[in-house]
């Protein structure tokens, strides 16, 4: 009493017995609180609890919802039968030893008794016939799923919404699988049995490191790198960033020397043509591969200690593609092996020690959005604008070993291997431009995705990064401020939501450093 915070905890009979689900900041100080009977809840909007808050001047309903994709269906898992309103016995019989329990009634709107509990303050469950005072069970209003419904009777203020992102409270998001969802059940079922498992890493916190670690005063960055490129690349020693100036210049920054960069021009790599993608060699931290818009790949060697003067001569030039290159990827286990994809609709594998092409993979009929080597290096997966995912075994055949349906919408897609290389995670769009992630079994691409999860509507393709130690995937797009985190599991429900991270300003690129850069004493895992 006297406070304006409302905490919501889940109670289970096992450790940890108490888990905080959410907290809600109310407008006025609390003078008293009461929970509304379960029979009055708006079950079709997945309302699992409604609290009435008494303030100095008002009675305010606060509604708790578990967001679900469908509000047309009655969700049995959230609403088990509850105690009815008819007594089970009378006083004399109870003294005589009768211990019968009150009969249970269904919360399903179609199976309810007609005389249900109604009140002008708290019943926006169904259309109420004010003439007779009972609820019209024939028609349930499922048209509105929003919770910001103000109460028109009696001048009460509107309920505090827990589902609108703008309100002080957070949504009890269970729409995306069993995150820290919320349900109150008269039986002592734990939340796990209602909503399934939650991620061990759901409380992972993204934190921006101190300004002393930042590299600032970056000037003239190129913002025209294609969507297939991450925007820049980094290894544990340095970062390479394409610049806007003519001649395809690339800045190379030493990560060991953070701080403000000088205002004067710095030495750069003169690539001579615009950069379409670039990548550091995982086994040689001084070798940078750069794909150009002239269909050539140039290999550059950074001197020990970083760039002291402008580099103009590449170590090698790889020729073979006939059109502009989309993206390049180094092999995860073998040195001197690079793969590239191009507008000529081929994927070519290069031997860098011999500076020649060794294999050209066929089978694509449209733009190649993304490609990825499997963790063991045996297979290569690609996703294309023709709506197909293809899996190659380059040592066996230049034709795809299998293919399956990819994301709809030709706006862009990315893919990454997850769960030890047994599954493929693809980020893309649906036909209505909603960003979504899809999970496939790598051995069964023709069967289509095991699971599809819609995230939000935004124009940029989600770039996935997968941490194989925790099985957490990080997803964000260029121009986004939010990074989604999900733990990926090989069994249902496949995606377990974790805390997302929001940065103060939109990012133009987003890359992860090797695991060896993590401060393990701080339990930093990415």
pLDDT, position 187: 41
pLDDT, position 176: 37
Spatial CB neighbours of 255, under 8 Å, sequence gap ≥ 6? 215, 234, 236, 237, 238, 239
What are the helix (H) ranges across 309-413?
Answer: none
pTM: 0.65
Phi, psi of 467 (to 5 degrees): -100, 110
Q: Is residue 54 predicted with pLDDT exceeding 90?
A: yes
Counting other chains too, the contacts that 399-405 makes at CB distance below 8 Å and 24 or more residues apart are: 399/361, 399/362, 399/363, 400/361, 400/363, 402/445, 402/446, 403/363, 403/445, 403/446, 404/440, 404/444, 404/445, 404/446, 404/447, 404/448, 405/448, 405/449
Q: Is residue 233 predicted with pLDDT exceeding 90?
A: yes
Percent of the chain at pLDDT exceeding 90: 53
Q: 202 and 195 in contact (C-beta within 8 Å)?
A: no
Q: Is residue 462 predicted with pLDDT exceeding 70?
A: yes
Burial call 486-502: b when 16+ CB within 10 Å, e when fewer: bbbbeeebbbbbbbbbe
Q: 475 and 466 in contact (C-beta within 8 Å)?
A: no
Task: Name the band, by pLDDT with cuts 50, 70 and 90, for residue 121.
Answer: low
DSSP percent split of the chain into helix, strand, coil, nearest 5: 5, 35, 55
pLDDT, position 235: 93
Q: Is residue 183 predicted with pLDDT exceeding 60?
A: no
Burial of 288 (0-12, 13-18, 19+ CB in 10 A): buried
Task: Tell me, rounded to whole angstroms, the distance of Cα 510 from its chain centroid.
Answer: 15
């Amino acid at each position: 009493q006297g406070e304006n915070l409302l905490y919501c905890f889940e109670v289970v009979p096992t450790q940890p017995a108490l888990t905080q689900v959410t907290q809600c900041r109310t407008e006025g100080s609390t003078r008293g609180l009461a929970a509304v009977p379960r029979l009055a809840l708006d079950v079709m909007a997945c309302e699992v609890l409604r609290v009435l808050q008494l303030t100095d001047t008002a009675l305010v309903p606060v509604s708790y919802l578990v967001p679900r994709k469908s509000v047309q269906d009655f969700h049995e898992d959230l609403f088990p039968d509850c105690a009815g309103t008819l007594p089970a016995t009378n006083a004399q019989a109870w003294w005589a030893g009768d211990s019968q329990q009150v009969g249970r009634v269904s919360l399903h709107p179609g199976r309810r008794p007609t005389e249900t509990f109604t009140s002008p303050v708290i019943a926006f469950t169904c259309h109420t016939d004010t003439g007779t005072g009972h609820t019209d069970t024939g028609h349930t209003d499922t048209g509105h799923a929003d919770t910001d419904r103000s109460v028109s009777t009696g001048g009460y203020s509107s309920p505090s919404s827990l589902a609108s992102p703008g309100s002080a409270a957070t949504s009890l998001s269970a729409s995306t699988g069993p995150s820290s969802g919320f349900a109150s059940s008269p039986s002592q079922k734990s939340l796990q049995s209602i909503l399934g498992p939650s991620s061990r890493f759901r409380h992972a916190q993204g934190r921006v490191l101190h300004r002393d670690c930042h590299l600032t005063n970056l000037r003239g960055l190129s913002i025209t790198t294609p969507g297939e490129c991450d925007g820049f690349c980094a290894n544990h020693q340095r970062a390479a960033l394409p610049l806007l100036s003519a001649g395809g210049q690339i800045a190379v920054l030493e990560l060991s020397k953070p701080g403000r960069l000088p205002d004067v021009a710095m030495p750069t790599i003169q690539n001579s043509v615009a950069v379409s993608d670039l990548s550091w060699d995982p086994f040689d931290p001084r070798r940078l591969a750069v794909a150009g818009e002239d269909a050539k790949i140039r290999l550059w060697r950074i001197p020990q200690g970083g760039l002291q003067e402008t580099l103009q001569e590449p170590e090698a030039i790889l020729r073979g593609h006939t059109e502009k290159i989309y993206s390049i990827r180094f092999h995860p286990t073998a040195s001197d092996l690079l793969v590239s994809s191009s507008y000529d609709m081929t994927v070519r594998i290069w031997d860098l020690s011999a500076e020649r092409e060794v294999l050209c993979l066929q089978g694509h009929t449209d733009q190649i959005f993304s490609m990825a080597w499997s963790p063991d290096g045996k297979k290569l997966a690609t996703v294309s604008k023709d709506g197909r995912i293809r899996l190659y075994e380059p040592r066996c055949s230049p034709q795809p070993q299998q293919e399956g349906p990819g994301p709809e919408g030709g706006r862009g897609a990315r893919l990454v291997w997850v769960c030890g290389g047994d599954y493929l995670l693809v980020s893309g769009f649906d036909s209505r431009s909603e960003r979504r992630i899809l999970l496939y079994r790598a051995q069964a691409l023709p069967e289509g995705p095991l699971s599809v999860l819609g995230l939000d509507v935004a124009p940029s393709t989600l770039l996935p990064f997968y941490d194989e130690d925790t099985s957490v995937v990080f997803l964000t797009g260029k121009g986004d401020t939010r990074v989604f985190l999900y733990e990926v599991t090989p069994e249902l429900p496949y995606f377990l939501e974790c805390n997302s991270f929001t940065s103060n300003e939109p990012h133009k690129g987003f890359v992860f450093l090797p695991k060896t850069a993590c401060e393990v004493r701080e339990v930093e895992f990415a």
